[in-house]
């Protein structure tokens, strides 16, 4: 199997995957060993969770609103306007909520992690941590990982809540869908498993964003130019990874939480 490694890109990709896997392994080993600095976790929850609220809420509101409008325009022609609720709800829970939240958090938090850790790397602050007998993974990655794993599912839930609220408002107040039918149909076709799927995806995307962002930061070189490159790469890699892994997650989670079926 020499052939694939003759391509520099293949080698770089294999190397990158290896580094990311090692970092993930080391991070989870530290978490399981209890090397968690809860004060830093709390700081990161504030930074990641509270700091991302506006972005996630605005994303949720306008995605819910525009998706509702588009579904209504198509379905209304078929006299299926009251089906807008379930379609929007299931799409938001199973796909749009977690994916859009993941992408927004990757842009905001993943970039910040990469830039902050990357700057620490090029200014020898990571070496200073190591010289002071402090493991950089324990000090920098673990608090961010724990904070992300707590915050992301909550942010996904928040995004879905605001998207559904906006959807209800647009459907009933602007597009004149009957509110009772809208809510009844939405409630009938939306299940707890859809929400579990959303939160599970949010949890997985949290791990992707934190590992990619921190890995990019920790491997930053070449000063300010390197920090810029790491930041860009962190956003691009984590966004693409979210989109790709989302497909496989959907297929796998659909086995555990099969879609479809009315409650009544």
Partner 1 sequence: MKSSSDNLIEVRDLRQTFAGQEILRGVNLDIARGKTLVLLGQSGGGKSVFLRHLIGLIRPLSGSIRIDGEEIAHLDERELEPVRRKIGMLFQDGALFDSLTVYENVAFPLRERGERNEKVIRDKVAHALELVSLQGQEGKMPVNLSGGMRKRASLARAIISEPSCILYDEPTAGLDPIVSDTINRLIRRLQSQLHVTSIVVTHDMVSTNHIADHVALLREGRIHFSGALAELHASTDPVIRDFIEGRSREID
Determine if 134 is a binding residue for partner 1 (CB under 8 A).
yes
Q: Per CB under 8 A, which region of 72-80, 119-127, 166-174, 254-262 contacts partner 1? A: 119-127
**Of the listed pieces 130-138, 199-207, 244-252, 256-264, which binds partner 1 according to CB under 8 A?**
130-138
Find the shortest distance in angstroms from Cβ 28 to partner 1. Answer: 15
Q: Which of 135, 165, 188, 254 binds partner 1 (CB under 8 A)?
A: 135
Report residue 47 as tokens. 């930074």
Segment interacting with partner 1, rule: CB under 8 A, options 52-60, 80-88, 97-105, 120-128? 120-128
Using rule CB under 8 A, residue 133 touches partner 1: yes
Nearest-approach distance from CB 72 to partner 1, in angstroms: 48
Candidate residues 19, 31, 36, 125; the one interacting with partner 1 per rule CB under 8 A: 125
- 33 vs 30, 131, 260, CA distance in Å? 5, 22, 41
Shortest Cβ 133–partner 1 spacing (Å): 4
Question: 5 exposed, middle or buried (CB, 10 Å; 0-12, 13-18, 19+)?
Answer: exposed
Residues in region 229-248 near partner 1 by CB under 8 A: none
Of the pair 24, 104, the CB lying nearest partner 1 is at 24
List the one residue from 10, 70, 74, 123 that touches partner 1 (CB under 8 A): 123
DSSP 175: S
CA dist 140 and 146 (Å) reads: 11
Q: What's the token pair of residue 115?
A: 């830039």
Regarding 19 and contact with partner 1 (CB under 8 A), the answer is no
The span of 56-64, 127-135, 157-165, 213-221 binding partner 1 (CB under 8 A) equals 127-135
* Residue from the set 21, 74, 130, 173 that interacts with partner 1 by CB under 8 A: 130
Gap between the Cα atoms of 207 and 215, Å rounded = 12
DSSP label of 2: -
Q: CA 164 to CA 25: how far, in whole Å?
A: 37
Q: What does 36-102 look like in DSSP terms, one character per residue?
A: --HHHHHHHIIIIIITTHHHHHHHHHHHHHHHHHHHHHHHHTTT-GGGHHHHHHHHIIIIIHHHHHH
Of 77-85, 131-139, 197-205, 240-248, which part binds partner 1 (CB under 8 A)?
131-139
**Shortest distance, CB of residue 52 to partner 1, whole angstroms?**
19
When the beta carbons of 70 and 123 are compared against partner 1, the nearer one is: 123
- The Cα 106–Cα 239 span in angstroms is 6
Asked if 32 interacts with partner 1 (CB under 8 A), we say no
CA-angle at 21, arms to 19 and 27, nearest 5°:
100
Q: At what angle do helices 142-169 and 179-189 cross, to 10 degrees?
A: 140
List contacts with partner 1 (CB under 8 A). 116, 119-120, 123-125, 127-128, 130-135
């Amino acid at each position: 199997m020499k052939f694939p490694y003759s391509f520099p890109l293949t080698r770089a990709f294999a190397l990158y995957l290896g580094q990311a896997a090692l970092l993930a392994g080391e991070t989870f080993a530290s978490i399981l060993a209890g090397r968690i600095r809860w004060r830093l976790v709390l700081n990161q929850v504030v930074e990641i969770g509270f700091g991302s609220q506006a972005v996630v809420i605005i994303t949720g509101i306008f995605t819910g609103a525009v998706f509702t409008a588009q579904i209504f325009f198509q379905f209304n022609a078929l006299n299926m306007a009251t089906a807008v609720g379930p379609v929007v709800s299931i799409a938001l829970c199973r796909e749009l909520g977690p994916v859009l939240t993941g992408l927004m958090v990757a842009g905001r938090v993943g970039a910040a992690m990469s830039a902050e850790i990357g700057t620490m790397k090029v200014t020898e602050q990571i070496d200073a941590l190591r010289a002071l007998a402090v493991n950089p993974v324990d000090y920098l990655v673990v608090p961010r990982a724990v904070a992300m794993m707590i915050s992301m599912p909550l942010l996904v839930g928040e995004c879905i809540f605001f998207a559904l609220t906006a959807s209800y408002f647009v459907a009933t107040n602007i597009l004149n869908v009957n509110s009772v039918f809208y809510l009844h149909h939405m409630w009938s076709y939306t299940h707890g498993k859809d929400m579990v799927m959303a939160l599970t995806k949010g949890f997985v995307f949290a791990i992707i964003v934190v590992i990619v962002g921190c890995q990019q930061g920790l491997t930053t070189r070449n000063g300010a130019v390197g920090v810029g490159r790491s930041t860009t790469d962190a956003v691009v890699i984590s966004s693409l990874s979210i989109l790709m892994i989302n497909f496989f997650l959907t297929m796998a989670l659909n086995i555990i939480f099969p879609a479809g079926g009315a409650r009544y």
